[in-house]
């Protein structure tokens, strides 16, 4: 498995570069400042670091620089939208600042942090997912904003902001966790007004795999920036550990993967979904590598990664192809959060929403296996 794992992360990155070269530039990434392009660029940046490959890093810098203006403002970004999705691409700014010393990147970081400091909140201080989604907190938003704010706190010497990060992570887990399964519901509406929200609890009704994947990644990525002395660090690790245990209970025994709706594997229409499965493998592998999870999680993690390769990928002259990716899902009047809704969303292949977490998972599994084999 060792050689196979080492090679596949580079194959994914080269596939992405190949798409770029065919088009002149990667049109999807250039179109607007957004969370999925941001994740794709971050995955490419980490690949460049892991392999010491300048072409991957240059890809990131070239695309980021189409957005960051001389005064640190960001093309297509609006603070006043108060949209947590718009924070995610900013995670690439810290690496660019470290590599170049260019103050544009610092100014852009301050701009995004200013949004979070004034983000609308629930009565207990939870960030609204967007201004247009009043009093709603979604698992997705924790990944978009929390690792950015945690790294911002470390880079710019603002340790009090780690308390804010911990508050966001712990609050949403307390609001959305199901005590029976240990899984987390996609969203919570404090006002209980939304079509998708239970009138008594305010919760959405299903455990959507990618939403839980966003939260898993937010936990393990935020921990990179918490000092061992922070009073909430151990609690965050404990939450990550128990959610990891819950995910192992719904891991498909045959494939090692996870279903679109996590706890309804045998229900008609449900399917193995790639992006969530990749996010879980990424999080579990990183948790193993950092010591947050004990060795007993290794088998499930590696079975998950092997399942991605065996059941969800194909390779040809154009590179690696990833299938069974949920194109998008959310919560709104038209998107009622029901089981039928989640399985009705379009299923696609070879889109950055799946390729980015696949690359991140490959890098973490490779790093873990390499360390284990030393």
The pLDDT, as a whole number, for residue 26 is 57
Backbone angles phi, psi at 2, to 5 degrees: -55, -55
Backbone angles phi, psi at 250, to 5 degrees: -115, 10
In this structure, which topology does domain 2-373 adopt according to CATH?
Glycosyltransferase (1.50.10)
Flag whether pLDDT at 153 surpasses 50: yes
The four Cα atoms 169, 172, 173, 179 give a dihedral, to 10 degrees, of: 170
The pLDDT, as a whole number, for residue 279 is 99
Flag whether pLDDT at 22 surpasses 70: no
The helix (run of H) or strand (run of E) holding residue 326 is strand 325-326
163 is catalytic: no
Per-residue confidence band for 30, with pLDDT thresholds at 50, 70 and 90: confident
For tokens 């892991």, name the residue. Answer: 50
The pLDDT, as a whole number, for residue 4 is 46
Flag whether pLDDT at 19 surpasses 80: no
The helix (run of H) or strand (run of E) holding residue 204 is none
The pLDDT, as a whole number, for residue 121 is 98
Catalytic residue among 140, 178, 198, 224: 140
The pLDDT, as a whole number, for residue 5 is 44
For residue range 33-58, what is the model confidence (pLDDT) as tens digits? Answer: 999 999 999 999 999 999 999 999 99
For residue range 79-103, what is the model confidence (pLDDT) as tens digits? Answer: 999 999 999 999 999 999 999 999 9
- How much of the chain, in percent, has pLDDT values that exceed 90? 92
What 3-state class would DSSP assign to 263?
coil
Which residues 6+ apart lie within 8 Å of 260 measured at CB?
A: 208, 209, 270, 271, 272, 273, 276, 326, 342, 343
Distance between CA atoms of residues 235 and 238, nearest Å: 5
Flag whether pLDDT at 6 surpasses 80: no
Q: Exposed, middle or buried, 311 (CB in 10 Å: 0-12/13-18/19+)?
A: middle
Distance between CA atoms of residues 281 and 304, nearest Å: 6
For residue range 265-295, what is the model confidence (pLDDT) as tens digits? Answer: 999 999 999 999 999 999 999 999 999 999 9
What does DSSP say about strands 136-138 and 187-189: parallel, antiparallel, or unpaired?
A: antiparallel
The pLDDT, as a whole number, for residue 23 is 53
Flag whether pLDDT at 3 surpasses 50: no
Flag whether pLDDT at 374 surpasses 70: no
The pLDDT, as a whole number, for residue 27 is 65
The pLDDT, as a whole number, for residue 94 is 98
Domains of the chain by residue range: 2-373
End-to-end CA separation in angstroms for the chain: 14
Q: Tell which residue, 132, 154, 130, has the closest CA to residue 140.
A: 130
Q: Where does residue 319 fall: left (phi above 0), alpha (psi -120 to 50 degrees), or beta otherwise?
A: left
Flag whether pLDDT at 62 surpasses 60: yes
Average pLDDT score, the chain:
95
Give the residue with greater pLDDT, 293 vs 333: 293
The length of the chain is 374
- Average pLDDT of the segment spanning 130-138: 98
The pLDDT, as a whole number, for residue 227 is 98
Which residues 6+ apart lie within 8 Å of 71 measured at CB?
A: 104, 107
Distance between CA atoms of residues 147 and 87, nearest Å: 10
Q: Exposed, middle or buried, 211 (CB in 10 Å: 0-12/13-18/19+)?
A: buried
Distance between CA atoms of residues 14 and 217, nearest Å: 24
Cα 37 to the center of its chain, rounded Å: 12
Q: Tell which residue, 38, 58, 9, has the closest CA to residue 221.
A: 38
The pLDDT, as a whole number, for residue 2 is 41
Q: At what angle do helices 92-100 and 54-64 cross, to 10 degrees?
A: 110
């Amino acid at each position: 498995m060792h050689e196979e794992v080492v090679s596949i992360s580079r194959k994914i990155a080269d596939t992405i570069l190949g798409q770029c070269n065919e088009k002149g530039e990667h049109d999807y990434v250039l179109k607007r400042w957004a969370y999925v392009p941001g994740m794709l660029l971050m995955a490419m940046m980490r690949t460049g670091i892991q392999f010491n490959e300048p072409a991957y890093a240059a890809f990131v810098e070239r695309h980021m620089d189409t957005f960051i203006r001389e005064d640190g403002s960001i093309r297509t970004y609006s603070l006043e939208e108060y949209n947590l999705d718009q924070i995610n691409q900013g995670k690439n700014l810290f690496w660019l600042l470290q590599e170049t010393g260019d103050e544009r990147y610092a100014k852009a970081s301050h701009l995004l942090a200013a949004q979070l400091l004034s983000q609308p909140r629930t009565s207990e201080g939870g960030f609204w997912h967007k201004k247009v989604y009043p009093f709603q907190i979604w698992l997705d938003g924790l990944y978009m904003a929390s690792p950015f704010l945690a790294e911002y706190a470390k880079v710019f010497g603002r340790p009090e902001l780690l308390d804010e990060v911990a508050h966001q992570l712990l609050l949403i887990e307390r609001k959305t966790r199901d005590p029976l399964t240990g899984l987390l519901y996609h969203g919570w509406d404090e006002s209980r007004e939304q079509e998708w929200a239970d009138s008594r609890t305010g919760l959405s009704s299903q455990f959507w795999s990618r939403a839980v994947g966003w939260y898993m990644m937010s936990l393990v990525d935020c921990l990179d920036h918490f000092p061992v002395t922070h009073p909430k660090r151990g609690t965050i690790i404990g939450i990550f550990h128990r959610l990891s245990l819950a995910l192992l209970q719904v891991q498909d025994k045959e494939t090692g993967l996870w279903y679109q709706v996590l706890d309804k594997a045998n229900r008609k229409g449900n399917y193995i979904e790639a992006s969530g499965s990749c996010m879980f493998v990424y999080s579990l592998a990183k948790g193993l590598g950092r010591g947050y999870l004990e060795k007993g999680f290794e088998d499930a993690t590696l079975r998950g990664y092997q399942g991605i390769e065996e059941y969800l990928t194909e390779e040809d002259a154009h590179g690696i192809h990833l299938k069974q990716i949920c194109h998008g899902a959310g919560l709104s009047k038209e998107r009622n959060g029901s089981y039928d809704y989640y399985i009705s969303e379009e299923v696609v292949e070879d889109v950055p929403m799946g390729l980015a977490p696949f690359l991140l998972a490959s890098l973490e599994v490779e790093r873990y296996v390499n360390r284990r084999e030393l």
